């Protein structure tokens, strides 16, 4: 760059952590178009001519945060078009919200909502009878906050033919009353699919409206790129994203993973290549395949090596038959898709590693970017295998504390001593495993990376005292602010095949950055989440200003 080159914007007098390979800090950066053209000192910046000069006044600048696992299409539809149960403190709160929504929308043929939490009900989940009291003549379906359970009323089960004789595959559960009657809670996707005939269908325009909303919502937290891990070819989310990309309506770079179907793995096998060829723009790509290896601990569907506490043999079940999973993953790998595995239990992790062994043995060598996400219970004996396969562990630090209602009431009773070692992070990094970090939004209702960074560092909940060791979950798994910043930026960029354009502030990369009011490296760790996001810049444009 010469002095005669006029830049669009010059930022100076900042504390810029570039997250480059040398962990460099800078004071100034310049942007032209959608790229960084200069990163350096204030003195070096004196020679730069720019249309606009911004004095950062000592504020901190980080690369734009990357959300490597967030259900942005589902979550945005939930927020815009469904009854929201997120944040409810008890079952009565949920019922009041549902009742209010029904009263305000008397003409809807089906009532759908999302956000209830398992600890608010019995271990076998909420009853259909609670919903029947609100509406008995129309189907009702309410998703749990983690999307692994569905609460339905009697009408929904009648319409869909769900009876005491209905069977579901291993790894799925229809919760029952004492006489065998379905209670009203369906766990995992094959069981939930029983109500597909009544599931509301959202149009492409509905999705476009919702995605427009969610991009702005995420931008307020400093997020400039996002990966949706379950894009369903049976829904209108992909057509909406394609059209928005083609029309220049995406303000956050969006990456996606196809939803797979364990009971019909090859139903869309002829569409993946064709769809990915079209979804291959700078702002929108689909190049991953999402695989559910198991369920969740709270539904007792996580797949463990040792039995659940109190059980003599039951360890949960894998979602897939191993041979079917291995063959499907090999096919997806040959199509050039990276595998993105939901992994909760240690047996699920080991099964995934066995699949990766099969792939590397049978398929041609290539640059694979496998992701394991969640990793609640991991056998230390498998750390080396994860590292050897160069798997990126996309962790969810937002959950790495003794979550009220979950830890003491569900995780300890179900896992025993394993609960006190759950969600490893430092152990993973010490084993040479690359870290990413994600919210799993809207499982995490507030997908603010600064909250995730704080919890990952302290291992206690927001507004809890990190010096009270009784509150800390596995203190030996605490990691540093720097490690979490890298997880939310360059680590996620690698997992999403974006490290050449995003994840760090470097000349030639996309001008994605977040300006923070204070330097989070200098703030007390219990106050990181309080630091204000002043601006979020994506592709050189301000997409949020606080």
pLDDT in tens, 208-254: 999 999 999 999 999 999 999 999 999 999 999 999 999 999 999 99
Mean pLDDT (whole number) for 361-372: 97
- The DSSP code for 265 is T
Kind and range of the H or E run holding 175: strand 173-176
Report which DSSP code applies to 525: G
- Name, in order, each residue with C-beta under 8 angstroms of 320's C-beta and a sequence gap of 6 or more: 171, 262, 291, 292, 293, 328
Strand blocks (E) in 193-303: 223-231, 253-259, 284-292
Taking phi first (over 0 means left), then psi (-120 to 50 degrees means alpha), and beta for anything else, what does residue 147 get? left
pLDDT, mean of residues 298-311 = 96
Q: Does residue 471 contact residue 464 with C-beta atoms inside 8 Å?
A: yes
Contact 161, 193 (CB under 8 A): no
Share of the chain above pLDDT 90, in %: 95
**CB-based contacts of 7, cutoff 8 Å, min separation 6:** 30, 31, 32, 37, 38, 48, 49, 50, 51
All residues at 6 or more sequence positions from 313 whose CB lies less than 8 Å from its CB, including other chains: 307
Average model confidence (pLDDT) across the chain: 96
Contact assessment for residue 371 and residue 419, using Cβ atoms and an 8 Å cutoff: no
Give every strand in the sheet of 49-55, ordered side by side. 35-40, 28-32, 6-12, 49-55
Domain boundaries, the chain: 6-64+509-545, 72-198, 204-495
How many CA atoms, within 13 angstroms, populate the side-chain half-sphere of residue 277? 6
Phi, psi (degrees; rounded to nearest 5) at 518: -135, 165
pLDDT in tens, 427-464: 999 999 999 999 999 999 999 999 999 999 999 999 99
- Give the CATH superfamily of 204-495: Metal-dependent hydrolases (3.20.20.140)
Tokens of 482: 């720097």
CA triple 136-137-138, angle to 5 deg: 100
Element (H, E) at 384: helix 383-388
Architecture of domain 6-64+509-545: Roll (2.30)
State the pTM of this model.
0.91
* CA 534 – CA 454 distance, rounded (Å): 18
* 360 CB neighbour count, 10 Å cutoff: 15
Q: What is the pLDDT of residue 3?
A: 45
Whether 8 has a pLDDT exceeding 70, the answer reads: yes
276: its two tokens: 């990915």
DSSP letter assigned to residue 522: T
Rounded to 5 degrees, what are φ and ψ at 121? -135, 180
Q: Which two tokens stand for residue 71?
A: 């259900």
CATH number of 72-198: 3.10.310.70
H-helix or E-strand spanning residue 372: strand 371-374
pLDDT of residue 87: 87
């Amino acid at each position: 760059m010469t002095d005669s080159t006029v830049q669009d914007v010059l930022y100076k007098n900042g504390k810029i952590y570039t997250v480059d390979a040398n962990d460099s800090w800078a004071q100034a950066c310049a942007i032209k178009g959608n790229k960084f053209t200069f990163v350096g000192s204030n003195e070096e910046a004196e020679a730069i001519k720019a249309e606009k000069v911004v004095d950062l006044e000592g504020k901190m600048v980080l690369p734009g945060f990357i959300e490597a696992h967030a259900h942005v299409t589902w979550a945005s539809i939930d927020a815009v078009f469904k009854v929201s149960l997120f944040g409810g403190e008890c079952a009565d709160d949920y019922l009041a919200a549902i009742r209010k929504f029904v009263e305000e929308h008397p003409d809807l043929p089906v009532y759908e909502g999302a956000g209830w939490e398992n600890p608010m009900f019995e271990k076998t989940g909420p009853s259909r009878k609670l919903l029947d009291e609100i509406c008995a003549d129309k189907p009702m379906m309410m998703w749990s906050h983690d999307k692994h359970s569905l609460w339905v009323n009697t009408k929904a089960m009648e319409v869909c033919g769900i009876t005491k004789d209905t069977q579901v595959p291993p790894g799925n559960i229809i919760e029952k009353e004492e006489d065998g009657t379905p209670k009203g809670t369906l766990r995992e996707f094959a069981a939930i699919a029983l109500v597909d005939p009544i599931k509301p269908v959202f149009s492409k325009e509905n999705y476009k409206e919702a995605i427009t909303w969610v991009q702005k919502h995420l931008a307020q937290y400093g997020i400039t790129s996002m990966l949706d891990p379950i894009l369903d070819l049976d829904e209108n989310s992909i057509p909406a994203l394609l059209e928005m990309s083609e029309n220049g309506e995406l303000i956050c770079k969006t990456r996606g993973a196809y939803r797979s179907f364990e009971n019909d793995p090859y139903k869309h096998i002829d569409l993946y290549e064709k769809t990915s060829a079209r979804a291959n723009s700078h702002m929108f790509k689909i190049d991953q395949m999402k695989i559910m290896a198991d369920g969740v601990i709270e539904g007792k569907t996580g797949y463990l090596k040792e039995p659940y506490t109190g059980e003599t043999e039951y360890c949960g079940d894998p979602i897939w038959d191993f041979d079917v999973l291995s063959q499907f993953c090999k096919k997806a790998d040959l199509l050039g898709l990276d595998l993105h595995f939901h992994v909760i239990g240690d047996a699920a992790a080991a099964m995934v590693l066995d699949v990766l062994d099969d792939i590397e043995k049978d398929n041609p060598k290539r640059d694979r970017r496998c992701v394991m996400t969640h990793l609640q219970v991991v056998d230390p004996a498998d750390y080396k295998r994860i590292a050897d396969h160069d798997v990126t562990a996309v962790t969810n630090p937002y959950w790495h504390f003794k979550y009220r209602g979950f830890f003491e009431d569900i995780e300890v009773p179900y896992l025993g001593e394993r609960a006190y070692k759950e969600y490893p992070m430092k152990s993973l990094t010490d084993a040479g495993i690359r870290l990413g970090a994600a919210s799993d939004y809207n499982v995490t209702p507030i997908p603010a990376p600064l909250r995730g960074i704080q919890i990952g560092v302290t291992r206690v909940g927001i507004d809890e005292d990190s010096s009270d060791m009784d509150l800390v979950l596995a203190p030996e798994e605490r990691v540093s602010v720097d490690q979490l910043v890298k997880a939310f930026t360059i680590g996620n960029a690698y997992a999403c095949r974006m490290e050449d354009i995003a994840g760090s502030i470097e000349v030639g990369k996309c001008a994605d950055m977040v300006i923070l009011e204070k330097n989070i490296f200098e703030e007390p760790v219990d106050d990181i989440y309080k630091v204000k996001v002043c601006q979020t810049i994506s592709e050189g444009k301000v997409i949020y200003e606080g």
